[in-house]
Chains A and B, each alone.
Chain A
Amino acid sequence: MSDVIEASGLTKRYGQVVALDGLDLTVPEATVLGLLGPNGAGKTTAVSILATLLQPDAGAATVAGFDVCRAAEQVRKQIGLSGQYAAVDEHLTGFENLDMIGRLYRLGRRRARDRARELLERFGLADAADRPVKTYSGGMRRRLDLAGALVAEPRVLFLDEPTTGLDPRSRTELWGVIRELVGRGATLLLTTQYLEEADQLADDILVIDHGRAIAHGTADELKRDVGGERIHVAVCSQEEVPVAREVLARFATAEIHVDIGSRELIAPIRGGAQVLTQALRALDDRHVALNDVGLRRPTLDEVFLALTGRTAEEQEHDRAAPDATEREEVA
């Protein structure tokens, strides 16, 4: 498998501010790289350089084998870009927007028109095709913007925070669309500040902060690196809490967190599902009735905290992150 996107030592300064500080990244063909970081981490700068919108101060990058600085025009023929702010013209209709993009990719009059209709159909916008984009909802605009990136069926896609500012339903919808694209073999670089989004969509995650990569791996690997799986147990009655605590203490690697009010216990363990099974048997032996149980691994939020000493939320308090709690249900 060859790398479709390759960047090394990308550096970009704006006056005193270092937006990118020697960023390296590679994206193998037909995979998704999630570029994860808080606001101002350098995600958009990285995408802008790879999409030929910006010249790096230092470093080099190739996309589909073409140098982004020296063969920018060739690169542009291979890529589709969908930005954080829906770059569609709100006075044009959905159809006119896509038709225009098709013409600018020089697909020819006929092909541009067919392709526009095809994409509007596929993205569930056929009914709204001839309405000005002004009348679209946020989710519809994003879908149209994404459709715009796909007009010329590019090999490489850059999606810069595709779901920022969307409500949870539109976000889930858009995730479905993106998964489908990847299923068709597109190579995708996705930036996001939603930890859950990277987990959901990316094969590989690069966590960046202050323009530098601070961690790299799959979502699972990142969580493992930070360590600390926990058994999460909710018992039926308060009398059972001390018993459950006594049982769990045999498996716990550190102090057990107990919440009497909600009758919940969280026990850090090592050994995953196997240890969980043993713990469940032990609880059952003592006839502890369970309301809920799960093996909970650290969320990417916690990963971020462990890596940077700050939670992602601390950097983006003005944006609401989706609920990032993840659990592997076994009961």
Chain B
Amino acid sequence: MIQRAAYAFGDATVIAKRNVIKIKRVPEVLVFVLLSPIMFVLLFAYVFGDSIQVPGGDYREFLIAGIFVQTVLFGSTFTGAGLADDMQKGIINRFRSLPMSRSAVLAGRTSSDIIYNLLSLAIMSLTGLIVGWRIRDSILEAVAAFALLLLFAYAFSWVMASVGLMIPSVEVINNATFMILFPLTFLANTFVPTENLPSGVRTFAEWNPVSSAAQAVRELFGNIPPDAPEPTAWSLQHPTLYTLLWIAAIIAVFAPLSVRQYKRATSR
């Protein structure tokens, strides 16, 4: 049992190392990963910022956490696209013919994709600081906020792994995930407070884990002004706990599901 786990860990490390080499060899991908959050920060801060009302009145302070969540969520698309690409090119077949652990390709992929998110969080934090966002609570809470973002992204990586194995086409994946993730990040308190949303959408937004993640990160960074109204939904009253529950549930469902898919995956 321990032997097996050690093998699985070793195999996953080999796969993760391979993916890291690829990040280095194809730096173009990184450029887009890093530029799109900058674009979002600037677009919302300077174009829509003045017309969106938030409690406390500082929209940029409110916005950054939302962009953080949106970006790491979209970052999970890489997991799906990467696996779809490996399927298409027959690399998954090669891996599946090897006496390696059945979970290693997925575990390695989801782990190495954290690097994209780490980098984009770093760039976004810098951009945020430039436009006036600040970490107002302790460093420890800030670290917790970043850790929560990475965990959230990691959980969605497993969802995308499952999608990537189901639809082995990079183009379709990119379009399909866009169609799912875009509404998910907009029907939330990422860019506007849930109070501003119409009532049906509002309930969805309040219980949307994207909202709770953004709320949790705002709390941890100290970006919620003291005079902001207390949220009415339980999910937003306990955003960190609620987000962690989602993360656990997503991993518990999608990790075994995608390993099962991997065992049966054939590209042709």
Q: How long is the Cα–Cα vector from A260 to B89 in the complex, in angstroms?
A: 52
Give chain B residues whose Cβ lies under 8 Å from the Cβ of A89.
18, 22, 89, 91
Q: Across the two chains, which residue of chain A brings its CB closest to B268?
A: A44
Our pick among A54, A81, A90, A103 for the contact of B266 (Cβ within 8 Å) is A54
Min C-beta distance of A76 to chain B, whole Å: 4
Task: Kindly report which residue of chain B lies nearest to residue A51, judged by CB atoms.
Answer: B97
Interface residues in A232-266 by Cβ distance below 8 A to B read none
Give the CA-CA distance A89 to B20 in the complex, in Å.
13
Task: Give bound CA distance, A92 to B104, whole Å.
Answer: 19
Q: For chain B, residues 87 to 101, give those with C-beta under 8 angstroms from any C-beta of chain A.
A: 89-91, 93-100
The answer, among B91, B99, B266, for a CB contact under 8 Å with A48, is: B266
Instruction: Give A residues with C-beta under 8 Å from B.
Output: 44, 48, 51-55, 73, 76-77, 79-81, 83-92, 96, 100-101, 103-106, 132, 148
- Provide the residues of chain B in CB contact with A48, threshold 8 Å: 93, 266
Alpha-carbon separation in the docked complex, A326 to B80 (Å): 49
Contact status B22-A92, CB under 8 Å: yes
Q: How large is the interface on B (under 10, 10 to 19, 20 to 34, 35 or more residues)?
A: 20 to 34
Query: In the docked arrangement, what's the CA distance between A51 and B95, Å?
Result: 11
For A100, the chain B residues whose CB sits under 8 A away are 14, 17-18
Given known A76-B98, A105-B98, contact A91–B266 (CB-CB < 8 A): no
B26 near A91 (CB under 8 angstroms)?
yes
Complex interface: chain B residues within 8 A of A92 (CB)? 18, 21-22, 25
Interface residues, chain B, with chain A CB atoms under 8 Å away: 7, 10-11, 14, 17-18, 21-22, 25-26, 89-91, 93-100, 104, 264, 266, 268
CB atoms of A87 and B94 under 8 A apart: yes
Q: A79-B97, A104-B98 are in contact. Are A85 and B90 (CB under 8 A)?
A: yes
B90 touches A103 (CB 8 A): no
The CA-CA distance from A73 to B98 in the complex, in Å, is 9
Q: A100-B14, A106-B7 are in contact. Are A87 and B91 (CB under 8 A)?
A: yes
Task: Using CB atoms, name the residue of chain B closest to A89.
Answer: B91
A53 and B99 contacting across the interface, CB-CB below 8 Å: no
| B residues near A55, Cβ cutoff 8 Å | 264
Instruction: State the CA gap A103–B12 with chains docked (Å).
Output: 11
A103 to B15, CA, bound (A): 10
